[in-house]
């Protein structure tokens, strides 16, 4: 059975949830081979085995992380050449798409980005589903040349725990000088919030202009539900919340089970970031706000009155 | 410093963008279009760099690949202050994927002549793939310095701040380089009246594939490395219950959450 390469998304060996989703999808297409670049393999191995990786290519070249994107694309290109996989799956993060882009050119392969589903076609082809034009359209596509390279959005497949052997295969590779042209000279990690990561969370509670800069009720409500906190572009531009929490076309695109928009009007820029959420709730003072055209439940009211009452009721229900 | 800014003419998101039933390509003719909003940040960066004290004699050339109407994207860029435009247009380009688009752009950049800096936006607002800047860097063998929320050029070196999920990185490279900028980087200027008038006299070159030495068979729909098999308009979401808060809005919200097993 052909291998399917899955680029592992991790920080020092702590594997992100999206990788378990990709491994699950990989099993539909062939035999999952994880590609682990960097340090911390001992930490990662169990997680990769748990979700079906039969093989793990490990690459520990010291300087890969000192240079932006290009070295990882080079590693994957070498593995595509040596293992002739049925497909390469990469998480649809901004960096993931950049790696996939360079890999497509290097291997003369077609590239599909932001897939929300990937299935095996009867003829051995890889069939993808994507969402286009702010979620207005669903598109079915496939790669017609080379090794299909697909970047997949978070929350596209429930991870299935199926134990794989996760046999390590060390890859010796020398990164070319050309790939070392953009140097990362400093890395400033973000402080952990203790809340779920925005694109992976099952529930997201976002605040917008209606908060007037006070996100305390949004955060409390999020915490009562174990949710991630998002922010509209207006809130971020006003400096009320970090850009890394922005939900929208130029921020993060999320597709959680539940999305709650508090004090957000629902302009298309924002809708593009959350339109495919399974259930949508909005709280807004303005009954004409466009967000109410897309809700499963809406409250026309002041979030500073509605949310505290909801928080109390939720906490009571949790006992 | 010679700067080339790659821009795209895209369907207006508020004008019901759609696909052509005939060949599953994006409808670029039947829908109103405009310069992609995210490209304005790239143009602004280019203009700021060109205007900065150490820049000397700098030129900002704006480049686009698109049908005839794409000339509007060039026009808006010139009105903002770009000095010259290049519009690559050819029927054979219709239906090109990102791979082919990046090939055409790369050849056009080479023909414009070895810029010090190539600037792009972070992604287009129609395809929203965000892959062309990386493909350009790969094709041209240039350092990829992408997704900048801060940017400076000094002494032949470009330095950016790139904000990722887990961390912010400082990335630096020697020019020439390929740089993409996010919408966090600046506030794009509005064209002034003077700028609008001046734009009319600025040079715009129009090139076909043969002007670039690109074989028509290597671009376009038939040559694409991916294929759209079908598309379907998603039905608008059915709107559920909307209540007005009369002192119980929060309670009703919590009830909805319980009923739907979110609590």
Is there a contact between B122 and A146 if contact means CB atoms under 8 Å apart?
Answer: no
Q: Among residues A127, A145, A180, which one ends one of the domains?
A: A180
- Residues in B closer than 8 angstroms to A182, CB to CB, are 143-145, 171-173, 177
Average pLDDT over residues B129-146: 97
Partner-chain residue, chosen from A105, A144, A317, that has the shortest CB–CB distance to B226: A144
Is there a contact between A188 and B168 if contact means CB atoms under 8 Å apart?
Answer: yes
Q: Does the pLDDT value for residue A319 go beyond 80?
A: no
The answer to whether A40 touches A20, Cβ cutoff 8 Å, is no
- Residues in B closer than 8 angstroms to A305, CB to CB, are 245, 249-250
Q: What are phi and psi of A113, to 5 degrees?
A: -110, 155
Residues 6+ apart with CB under 8 A from B30: B18, B20
Q: Does the pLDDT value for residue A123 go beyond 80?
A: no
Average pLDDT over residues A191-209: 93
At the second CATH level, the architecture of B2-218 is 3-Layer(aba) Sandwich (3.40)
Q: What is the pLDDT of residue B261?
A: 94
* CATH, residue A39: 3.40.50.620
Position B33 confidence tier, pLDDT thresholds 50, 70, 90: very high
Q: What is the pLDDT of residue A192?
A: 84
**pLDDT tens-digit map of A228-275:** 999 999 999 999 999 899 999 889 999 999 999 999 999 988 998 999
Partner-chain residue, chosen from A11, A94, A144, that has the shortest CB–CB distance to B227: A144
In a domain, A71, yes or no: yes
Q: What is the pLDDT of residue B13?
A: 82
Helix (H) or strand (E) holding B133: helix B132-140
My answer on whether A106 and A227 are in the same domain is no
Q: How many other CB atoms sit within 10 Å of the CB of residue A140?
A: 17
**ipTM of the modeled complex:** 0.95
Is there a contact between B173 and A143 if contact means CB atoms under 8 Å apart?
Answer: no
Is there a contact between B226 and A181 if contact means CB atoms under 8 Å apart?
Answer: no
Q: How many other CB atoms sit within 10 Å of the CB of residue A227?
A: 25
In a domain, A247, yes or no: yes
My answer on whether A86 and A229 are in the same domain is no
Dmax (CA) for chain B in angstroms is 70
Domain count, chain A: 2
Position B14 confidence tier, pLDDT thresholds 50, 70, 90: confident
In a domain, A238, yes or no: yes
- Residues in B closer than 8 angstroms to A70, CB to CB, are 137-138, 144
Average pLDDT over residues B199-222: 97
Q: What percent of chain A has pLDDT over 90?
A: 86
In a domain, A191, yes or no: no
Q: Does the pLDDT value for residue A301 go beyond 80?
A: yes
Is there a contact between A299 and B252 if contact means CB atoms under 8 Å apart?
Answer: yes
Q: What is the pLDDT of residue B29?
A: 84
- Closest Cα in chain A, distance from residue B177 (Å): 9
In this structure, the strands spanning B2-6 and A297-300 are unpaired
- Least trusted range by pLDDT, from A19-23, A57-61, A208-212: A57-61
- Closest Cα in chain B, distance from residue A54 (Å): 28
Tell me what the pLDDT averaged over chain A comes to: 95
- Closest Cα in chain B, distance from residue A149 (Å): 10
In a domain, A188, yes or no: no
Q: What is the pLDDT of residue B160?
A: 98
Is there a contact between B172 and A185 if contact means CB atoms under 8 Å apart?
Answer: yes
How would you label B188-218 residue by residue, b for 16+ Cβ within 10 Å and e otherwise?
beebeeeeeeebeebeebebebeebebeeee
- How far is Cα B111 from Cα A84, in angstroms, rounded to an integer? 36
In a domain, A50, yes or no: yes
**pLDDT tens-digit map of A279-299:** 999 999 999 999 999 999 999
Q: Does the pLDDT value for residue B166 go beyond 90?
A: no
Helix (H) or strand (E) holding A14: strand A14-15
Q: Among residues A180, A195, A229, which one ends one of the domains?
A: A180
In a domain, A299, yes or no: yes
Contacts across the A-B interface (CB distance below 8 Å) = 264
- For an interface test with A, give the residue of B25, B242, B247, B255 to mutate (most A CBs within 10 A): B242
Q: What is the pLDDT of residue B156?
A: 95
- Residues in A closer than 8 angstroms to B229, CB to CB, are 127, 140-142
My answer on whether A176 and A210 are in the same domain is no
Is there a contact between B230 and A139 if contact means CB atoms under 8 Å apart?
Answer: yes
The answer to whether A290 touches B234, Cβ cutoff 8 Å, is no
Average pLDDT over residues B115-125: 96
Partner-chain residue, chosen from B139, B170, B254, that has the shortest CB–CB distance to A310: B254
Q: What is the pTM of this model?
A: 0.94
**pLDDT tens-digit map of A43-74:** 999 999 999 999 999 997 778 889 999 999 99
**pLDDT tens-digit map of B70-112:** 999 999 999 999 999 999 999 999 999 999 999 999 999 999 9
In a domain, A190, yes or no: no
My answer on whether A157 and A43 are in the same domain is yes
Q: What is the pLDDT of residue A65?
A: 87
User: Taking a contact as any Cβ pair under 8 Å apart, which residues of chain B between 97 and 156 contact chain A?
Assistant: 97-99, 102, 122, 125-126, 128-135, 137-139, 141-147, 149
Q: Does the pLDDT value for residue B30 go beyond 90?
A: no
My answer on whether A112 and A161 are in the same domain is yes
**pLDDT tens-digit map of A75-107:** 999 999 999 999 999 999 999 999 999 999 999
Q: Among residues A180, A215, A235, which one ends one of the domains?
A: A180
Q: Does the pLDDT value for residue B142 go beyond 80?
A: yes
Q: What is the pLDDT of residue B248?
A: 96
My answer on whether A43 and A168 are in the same domain is yes
Q: Establish whether the linkage from the previous residue to B146 is cis, with ω within 30° of 0.
A: no
Tokens of A303: 């979030």
Q: Does the pLDDT value for residue A124 go beyond 80?
A: no
- Residues in B closer than 8 angstroms to A302, CB to CB, are 245
Please calculate the CA angle B161-B164-B167 and round it to the nearest 5 degrees.
85
- Residues in A closer than 8 angstroms to B175, CB to CB, are none
What is the Cβ-side half-sphere exposure of residue A140, based on CA atoms within 13 angstroms?
10
Average pLDDT over residues B104-131: 95
Helices (H) and strands (E) in chain B, counts: 7, 13
Boundaries of domain holding A32: 3-180
- Residues in A closer than 8 angstroms to B133, CB to CB, are 98
- How far is Cα A115 from Cα A25, in angstroms, rounded to an integer? 11
Partner-chain residue, chosen from A97, A131, A181, that has the shortest CB–CB distance to B143: A181
* CATH, residue A262: 3.40.50.1220
**pLDDT tens-digit map of A129-165:** 999 887 889 999 999 999 999 999 998 999 999 999 9
């Amino acid at each position: 059975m052909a291998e399917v390469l899955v680029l592992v998304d991790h920080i020092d060996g702590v594997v992100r949830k999206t990788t378990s989703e990709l491994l699950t999808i990989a099993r539909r297409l062939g035999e999952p081979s994880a590609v682990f670049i960097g340090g911390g393999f001992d930490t990662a191995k169990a997680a990769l085995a748990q979700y079906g990786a039969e093989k793990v290519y490990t690459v520990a070249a010291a300087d890969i992380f000192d240079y932006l994107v290009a070295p990882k694309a080079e590693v994957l290109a070498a593995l595509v050449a040596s293992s002739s996989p049925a497909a390469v799956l990469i998480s649809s993060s901004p960096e993931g798409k950049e790696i996939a882009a360079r890999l497509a050119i290097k291997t003369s392969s077609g590239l599909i980005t932001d897939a929300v589903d990937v299935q095996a076609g009867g003829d051995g082809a890889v069939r993808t589903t994507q969402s286009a034009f702010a979620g207005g359209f669903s598109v079915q596509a496939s790669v017609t040349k080379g090794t299909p390279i697909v970047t997949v959005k978070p929350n596209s497949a429930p991870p299935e725990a199926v134990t794989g052997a996760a046999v390590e295969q060390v890859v010796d590779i020398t990164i070319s000088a050309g790939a070392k042209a953009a140097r990362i000279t400093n890395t400033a990690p973000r402080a952990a919030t203790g809340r779920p990561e925005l694109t992976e969370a099952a529930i997201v509670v976002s605040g917008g202009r209606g908060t007037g800069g006070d996100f305390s009720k949004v955060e409390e409500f999020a915490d009562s539900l174990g949710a991630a906190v998002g922010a509209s572009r207006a809130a971020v531009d006003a400096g009320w919340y970090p850009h890394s929490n922005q939900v929208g076309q130029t921020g993060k695109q999320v597709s959680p089970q539940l999305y709650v928009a508090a004090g957000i009007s629902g302009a298309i820029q924002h809708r593009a970031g959350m339109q495919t959420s399974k259930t949508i709730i909005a709280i807004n003072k303005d009954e004409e706000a466009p967000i109410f055209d897309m809700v499963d439940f809406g409250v026309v009211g002041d979030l500073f009155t509605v949310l505290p009452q909801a928080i109390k009721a939720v906490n009571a229900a949790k006992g | 410093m010679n700067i080339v800014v790659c821009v795209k003419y895209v369907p207006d998101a508020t004008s019901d963008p759609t696909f052509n039933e005939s060949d599953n390509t994006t409808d670029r003719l039947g829908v109103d279009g405009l310069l992609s909003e995210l490209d304005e940040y790239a143009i602004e960066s280019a203009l700021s760099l060109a205007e900065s004290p150490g820049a000397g004699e700098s030129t900002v050339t704006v480049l686009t690949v698109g049908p005839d109407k794409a000339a509007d994207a060039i026009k808006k860029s010139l009105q903002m202050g770009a000095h010259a435009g290049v519009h690559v247009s050819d029927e054979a380009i219709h239906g090109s994927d990102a791979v082919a688009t990046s090939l055409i752009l790369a050849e056009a950049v080479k023909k414009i002549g070895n810029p010090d800096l190539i600037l792009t936006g972070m992604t287009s607002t129609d395809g929203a793939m965000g892959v062309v800047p990386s493909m350009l860097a790969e094709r041209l063998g240039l350092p990829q310095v992408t997704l900048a929320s801060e940017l400076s050029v000094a002494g032949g070196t470009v330095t950016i701040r790139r904000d990722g999920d887990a961390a912010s990185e400082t990335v630096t490279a020697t020019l020439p380089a390929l740089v993409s900028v996010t919408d966090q980087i600046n506030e794009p200027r509005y064209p002034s009246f003077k700028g609008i008038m001046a734009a009319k006299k600025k040079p715009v070159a129009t090139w076909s594939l043969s002007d670039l030495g690109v074989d028509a068979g290597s671009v376009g729909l038939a040559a694409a490395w991916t294929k759209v098999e079908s598309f379907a308009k998603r039905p608008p979401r059915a709107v559920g219950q909307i209540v007005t808060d009369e002192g119980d809005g929060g309670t009703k919200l919590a009830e909805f959450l319980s009923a739907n097993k979110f609590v």
